[in-house]
Amino acid sequence: MIFPVILCGGSGTRLWPLSRKTCPKQFVEFEKGKTLFKETIERLHDVLADISLSDILIIANESQKEYINKELLCLENQSYKIILEPCQKNTAGAICAAALSALRLDSEAMLLICPSDHKISNISEFSKSIQKAFTLANLGYIVTFGITPTSPETGYGYIKCGEQLINSGFKIDHFVEKPDSETANRYILNPNYLWNSGIFVGKAKNIIKEFEKFEPNILNLVNDCVNAFDFSPSNYTYQLEREIYSQVKDISIDYAIMSQTKMAAVVKSDFSWSDLGSWKSIYDNSTKDNAGNAVHGVVVSEGTNNCYLYSKDRLVAAVGLTDIAVIETKDAVLVSSLSKSQDVKKIPKLLEENSLEGLGSAVVLRPWGSYESLVKSNRFQVKRIIVKPGEQLSLQKHFHRAEHWIVVEGSAEIQIGCESHFVTENQSVYIPAGEVHRLTNPGRIPLVVIEVQSGAYLGEDDIVRLEDKYLRH
């Protein structure tokens, strides 16, 4: 049986400010109504028409669960399996978990491992490459796909082809991590160098065999986690045990296995591929107007050429710009040369170093609904909280902040201490610091609450959960 595997663990820092830890790029709508995650699932259906969604294994960080559920709700009469990582450990741990899980379901499982944040066109060529890879995988190889370079990209890894095999396949001579500009220019003149797509095909048992040789510690730790899974038909979500998984080495599958095994192969492929790892690559894969501008949202421009202009919340006006990316969100604006957009990945680190990491006001999904920070200062914060019908927040308390809740839509059942209050639109309650409280939506429509926090510390970690229906700590 073929098991497609979707890797969702990345944070996409090179696409800040749209892509953040709270909402990585695979869940961002660069095109209205469509995310890269959804495109990945649709693409798998196209190339594996006889494979049902129940065969798809999704490997994601536990913070991404609600985004995944939201995306998959659009797919009627489908099921899926989600494996949740408690912490990011790169691709080796994730792929090991996928291979062990697939073996629990089928001893001859074949894996097609795809990142959730790539752009692929020319699906017919992609399908042909996959079939070639299946042939090599049945011979025992672990196969990746090499893309013929069209430009001297410094943001991609490269593969050097070795001995030729069948079906446009080659043994891998070696991997090259993101080269400098001079080296990349040499590579595009050499047909033996290909872009590393990060897509893999291999039998689960053969992948595990290589882990036994080269990374037995990763294998043993992940195996302990997977052995605890309940693979009953009614269960679709599996949590890797935090204490065990935190000991897994942070390493990519390229370094852990592919660069060491003698069974690594690459299929030279002609499908159009991009990992959309920079605003330049987003621009290259976008529709342009007559001036060469790619425009999203409410944008006006004058004398502006070959730019990427993205407006999320406010009007963006551009005058006299060339080869520039302008990305506007509610709380941040990025202005970058398209040629230097790889360096955007440095911005989140700078924000962290300057204690500005939590400045963002992106919508954060929770099992019960979502929240969004509207205004934040040193001693107060205003949030919009949306609670889905029939759902409730945890029974909790805060040591450093008081809260004032105003119901603006729907009706709420609010527990404060030992008392319960039924609160409707335009009514409010006050919760002192240290008081136990809980918010519930008993109605049939979404509950919208404006929350005003005040106190000396407003961090999300100032939450003591006493009871939680979603089993969070």
pLDDT attached to residue 78: 59
- State the Cα–Cα distance between residues 326 and 341, nearest whole angstrom: 11
Q: Where is 198: in which H helix or E strand?
A: strand 193-203
pLDDT of amino acid 335: 97
Sheet containing 308-311, strands listed edge to edge, beginning at the edge strand earlier in sequence:
294-296, 308-311, 324-328, 333-337
Residue 110 burial class via C-beta count within 10 angstroms: exposed 0-12, middle 13-18, buried 19 and up: buried
pLDDT of residue 59: 95
Q: Are strands 411-416 and 364-366 parallel, antiparallel or unpaired?
A: unpaired
The predicted pLDDT at position 237 comes to 87
> From first to last of its 473 residues, what are the pLDDT tens digits of the chain?
899 999 987 766 889 998 887 778 888 887 767 889 988 988 988 888 766 555 789 999 888 888 888 888 766 555 688 999 999 899 999 999 999 999 998 999 999 999 999 999 889 999 999 999 999 999 999 999 999 998 888 888 999 999 999 878 999 999 988 888 899 999 989 999 999 999 999 999 999 999 999 999 999 999 999 999 988 777 788 999 999 999 999 999 999 999 999 999 999 998 999 888 899 999 998 999 999 999 999 999 999 999 999 998 899 999 999 999 999 988 889 999 999 998 998 998 888 888 776 555 567 888 899 998 888 888 999 999 999 999 999 999 999 999 999 999 999 999 999 999 999 999 999 999 999 999 999 999 999 999 999 999 998 889 999 998 887 76
What pLDDT, on the 0 to 100 scale, is given for residue 102?
93
Domains and CATH numbers, the chain: 2-274 (3.90.550.10), 291-346 (no CATH), 363-467 (2.60.120.10)
Concatenate the DSSP letters of all residues of 403-448 into one string.
EEEEEEESEEEEEETTEEEEEETT-EEEE-TT--EEEE--SSS-EE
For 153-192, give one letter per residue: b (16+ CB within 10 A) or e.
Answer: bebbbbbbbeeebebbbbebeebbeebeeeebeebbeeee
**pLDDT tens digits, 43-73:** 988 888 766 555 789 999 888 888 888 888 7
Residue 397: C-alpha distances to residues 290, 393, 431, 433 (Å): 56, 11, 9, 7
Rounded Cα gap, residues 99 and 156, in angstroms: 26
β-pairing, 447-455 vs 401-409, is: antiparallel
* For helices 90-105 and 216-226, angle between their N-to-C axes, nearest 10 degrees: 50
**What does the angle CA 24 – CA 29 – CA 35 come to, to the nearest 5 degrees?**
75
Return the structure tokens found at 380: 């107060």
Residue 300 C-alpha from the chain's centroid: 31
Write down the pTM of the prediction.
Answer: 0.82
* pLDDT of res. 54: 58
pLDDT of residue 261: 95
